[in-house]
Amino acid sequence: MATTSAVSDRNGGCTCRFVRYRLTSAPLFVHCCHCRWCQRETGSAFALNAMIEADRVQLLNGAVEVVDTPSNSGRGQRISRCPTCRIAVWSNYAGAGEAVRFVRVGTLDEPDRCPPDIHIFTASKQPWVVLPPGVPAVAEYYKASERWPAASLERRAALMALAPPTRS
């Protein structure tokens, strides 16, 4: 049995199945971003991104093509896409650098297991999207130190010790 492309709660990939990856642990934090940039990039109402250390994203099959793309911050994001079907599987933003990947939750085989920890940029939320009670929501962005669980902050501190980001 090939195990590398097996469905699991932490496996994912593109639509043509050339790119298959596995998250080797739970993510740090999951963003549901309602900014206009994410709306345009997804063609939808929001983007769902699981932030995780780059070295916890294991490529099981294929390769990604990195596309430099403008971003809201003006400093760009690097979107990793399948070279064949062009589905975006993760991004790196200038702020968090190469150390943290923003994995597109919808590319996981079981995206239901990765609900958002916070809704961000709700100032531009499409009005028909009704946010669930009990999940934090902020008009724009937030401070990780105020919102992330302790275990994720510890993981973040370990990353920053290795490669300090250009902004917190």
Distances (CA, A) of 145 to 69, 99, 152, 164: 28, 18, 10, 16
Q: How far is the CB of 5 from Zn ion (least distance, A)?
A: 12
Cβ proximity to Zn ion: between 33 and 118 the closer is 33
Is residue 33 near Zn ion by the rule CB under 5 A?
Answer: yes
30 counts as binding Zn ion under rule CB under 5 A? no
Q: Which is nearer to Zn ion, 36 or 113 (CB)?
A: 36
Q: Whole-angstrom Cα distance, residue 71 to residue 147?
A: 23
Alpha helices (H) in 2-60, listed in sequence order: 36-42
Nearest Cα neighbor of 155 from 20, 12, 29 is 29
State in Å, rounded, how far the first CA of the chain is from the last one.
44
Binding test (CB under 5 A) with Zn ion, winner from 35, 50, 79, 105: 35
Q: What is the pattern of x (binds Zn ion, CB under 5 A) and - over residues 103-142?
A: ----------------------------------------
Does 82 help bind Zn ion (rule: CB under 5 A)?
yes
Instruction: Quickly count: other Cβ atoms within 10 Å of residue 89's Cβ.
Output: 24
Nearer to Zn ion (CB atom), residue 25 or residue 58: 58
Residue from 10, 11, 12, 14 binding Zn ion (CB under 5 A): 14
- Which residues, other chains included, contact 101 with Cβ-Cβ below 8 Å and sequence gap of 6+? 51, 52, 53, 54, 57, 80, 90, 91, 92
Instruction: Between 77 and 152, name the residue whose CB sits nearer to Zn ion.
Output: 77
- What is the C-alpha separation between 147 and 8, in angstroms, rounded? 28
Q: Does 163 bind Zn ion (CB under 5 A)?
A: no
Residue 18 or residue 142: which is nearer to Zn ion going by CB? 18
Q: Does 18 bind Zn ion (CB under 5 A)?
A: yes
> What is the separation of C-alpha 114 from the centre of its chain, rounded to a whole number of angstroms?
11
Residues forming the site for Zn ion (CB under 5 A): 14, 16, 18, 33, 35, 38, 82, 84-85
